Chain A
Amino acid sequence: MSKNFNLNGDFPPNNPAGEKVGGTVGDFGKKSPTKVGYNKDKEPFVGHKACAGCGGTIAVRLALKALGERVFVTVPAGCMSAVGFLYPQMAFTVNSIISTFAGTASMLTGIRAAANAKGLKDVFVVGFAGDGGTADIGIQALSGAIERGDKIIYICYDNEAYMNTGIQRSSATPFGASTTTSPAGSVIGGNRLGKKDMFSIVAAHNIPYAATASIAYPHDYIKKVKKAAATDGPSYIHILAPCPTGWGSENNQTVNLARLAVETGLWQLKEFAGGEVKITHKPKELKSIEEYLRLQKRFRHLNAADVDRVKESIG
């Protein structure tokens, strides 16, 4: 083994290079990256390497701001782990761990079980997984955790494709969207399948609390996070989080797109509790979807028939 590697004794390791950790707040640089100090005035998720205009990081940050310090975070392999955990620069200032891609909900289950075994009170066990990690590879573990009634908060930040690996189609990719595995070609015009309805799937478990949200409606979202936190059992929030890199939109349009999705009726803000679905925000009148589509390269190829089909998908 080469001596060029910095071996600092114990695991978890200290920062071998003594590099500055985090980017912007407080005295991160003075601390070991894996033993970051906690201060409620500090950001819970800071100095990460996400793309400009990332919607997913907004969803993570707002939820952690709402949940406070007594929290254990799990993120699976995906954007949030890729941008937040590159040794030695750790971006979470709260307890956090990357799970396997498929294992978000089961890792949350284990953390909650251990918290119970240790008699920890008033702690929140929360996961942030993307749409691929939730609707595809992680759905088995999610279903198991909900069915068992584990007291976990599962937040799916939905950017409608596998963005971390380079914009491949997931089962949450909407009809028509061009991705690298459902490209807009001369014969096939992008994704021909519809978006999987995770909210209904989760509700079908008779989960104590589930909601949809949009990063453009932070008050609505935070209210839902707090309801999830107060739930005695599993809770699920599915938040639309645009991705300029994957959607082919301007960085400064992320929040606008998240708002337009709601205002056009393409994305409904709702919650499920006590067996009932309730709409939490009803646009006075629905905007036309053309502007929403026009701002995104992934829909630019759509023909009139395709646009009509998108319109029909509005419930």
Chain B
Amino acid sequence: MAIQKFLSGNEAIAEAVKLAKPAVIAVYPITPQTTVVEKLADFVANGELKTEFINVESEHSALSALMGASAMGVRTFTATSSQGLLYMSECLHYAAGGRFPIVMMNANRAVALPWNIFGDQRDSLSQLESGWIQLYAENAQEAFDLTLSSFAIAENHAVALPVMLNVDGFALTHTYEPLNIISQEDADKILPPFKPFFEMNLEKPLSLGFSAGPRDNTAFKQHQINGMKAAAKLINEKFGDLVDAYKLENAKYAIITLGSISGLVRDVIDELQSDGVKVGLLRLRSLRPFPEEELRSALANFKTVGVLEKNLSVGAENAVAKEIKSALYGLENAPQVLAFSGGLGGRDISANEIKDIISKIIGGEK
């Protein structure tokens, strides 16, 4: 049984975390993540959520604390954004290499300099190589659903990797939608109690976080690759696919994007398709694991695709566009891939601008 609630994206995530019942939550505030951790603090203060709620002194400490807790075999959650995510960078690699199934919400936000608190995706995209699973929500309902899914994915024994759930700052974190909030009973079916893959305990002591020299180091990275492959399989089978195709069936051109802008792109595509324009949308729900096979099969016969990301690679093609190009490389008649940056520092992307991008895609020029 689900009940309807009118919630912001951040509140939706907090509701889902409450249903997931992590044993340890570490929090450090940063705009626009704050209302997630404030809501969780309210739940704890009012007895609605029983957890070890730690106010840590930095984002680096938030993940360090959760790695310690995760090593003890309990479910863990934190949330961050932008500068906080970058401050965690060392711990991101550490948590993935240590195979700690931590779930973290990241409110996508621009990174300084210049200072800017508004939404874009430069923070998480700069951390693609940290080894975390990276999921991107389109709306608050998906953010709610993916929060529960993230725990189930991270904690799967074949996966055993941390998950970063990315939600566009302000566009999703602070806007309100009517949402279906499932019952605790249904949540427990999606997410059974945590059974750790490994844990430090008194009966069988473990040494964790160890060094591995040149002989063994690569083997551990291969383990991580295997975990990521298992995540791809699991997401495709149980959690709604790595990609979300919209009106691609009869299209020759596609716009590829991620996050909240997809909603507006859908509207534009509806309008253009009714005028006979053969353009569709492919939304990336996951960047790690990267949906290479899905892209190759979905876009095999396309003429041109354009990648719109709230990101900018200075001195190179944008990160997501580059990866799409790489995924399509070697296909017979591989589509041309055009790169578009938009929404930097929260700058609005209008329907007309999306139309402009689509006309450039159809025109096959940058």
A interface list, Cβ under 8 A from B: 1-2, 5-7, 10-13, 16, 33-36, 38, 69-70, 72, 74, 81-82, 84-88, 90-100, 102-103, 105-111, 113-118, 120, 123, 140-141, 143-144, 147-148
B51 within 8 A of A: yes
Q: Which of B70-78, B113-121, B269-277, B354-362 contacts A (4 or more CB under 8 A)?
A: B70-78
A72 shortest CB reach to chain B, Å: 6
User: Which of B129-137, B193-201, B281-289 lies on the face that meets chain A?
Assistant: B193-201
Q: Mark B65-102, 1 if CB is under 8 A from A, else 0.
A: 11111111110100000000000001100100001000
Complex contact A5–B218 (CB within 8 A)? yes
Whether B209 contacts A11 by the Cβ 8 Å rule is no
Report A235 CB to chain B, min CB distance, Å: 18
Contact for A107 among B64, B99, B197, B212, CB less than 8 A: B64
Q: Which of B200-216 contact A (CB under 8 A)?
A: 200-202, 204-213, 216
| Any A CB within 8 A of the CB of B260 | no
Q: Mark B19-47, 1 if CB is under 8 A from A, else 0.
A: 00001101000000000000000000000
Partner of B60, one of A12, A69, A106: A106
Which A residue sits closest to B225, measured CB to CB? A1
Residue of B nearest to A117 (CB): B23
Residue contact A87 to B90, C-beta cutoff 8 Å: no
User: Who on chain B is nearest to A141 by CB?
Assistant: B61
Q: Which applies to chain A's interface (DSSP): helix, strand, loop or mixed?
A: mixed
Pair A110/B68 contact, Cβ less than 8 Å: yes
Q: How far is the CA of A113 from the CA of B212 in the complex (A)?
A: 28
A10 to B68, CA, bound (A): 20
Would you call B222 and A118 a contact (CB within 8 A)? Answer: no
Contacts of B200 in A (CB 8 A): 72, 95, 97, 111
Question: Chain B residues in contact with chain A, CB under 8 A?
Answer: 23-24, 26, 51-52, 54-58, 60-62, 64-74, 76, 90-91, 94, 99, 160, 197-198, 200-202, 204-213, 216, 218-220, 222-223, 225
Q: Is the CB of B211 within 8 A of A114?
A: no
Minimum C-beta distance from A44 to chain B (A): 10
Contact: B71 with A97, CB < 8 Å?
A: yes
Residues of B within 8 A of A107 (CB): 64-65, 67-68
8 smallest CB-CB distances across A and B, nearest first, come from A110-B68, A103-B64, A144-B57, A110-B65, A114-B72, A106-B61, A98-B209, A113-B52
* Residue among A91, A103, A114 with most chain B CB within 10 A: A114
Is A114 within 8 A of B210, CB to CB? no
Q: Does A36 contact B72, Cβ atoms closer than 8 Å?
A: no
In the complex, the answer to whether B74 meets A90 with C-beta atoms within 8 Å is: no
Residues of B within 8 A of A103 (CB): 60-61, 64, 67, 91
Partner of A11, one of B23, B198, B204, B216: B198
Given A6-B219, A141-B64: A109 and B213 interface contact (C-beta under 8 Å): no
A2 CA / B219 CA spacing, docked (Å) = 9
Decide if B61 touches A1 in the complex (CB within 8 Å).
no
Known: A96-B205, A98-B211, A110-B66. 19 other contacts (CB 8 A): A6-B216, A16-B219, A34-B208, A35-B206, A85-B207, A86-B211, A90-B207, A97-B208, A98-B208, A98-B209, A106-B56, A107-B65, A107-B67, A110-B69, A111-B200, A114-B71, A115-B72, A116-B52, A144-B58
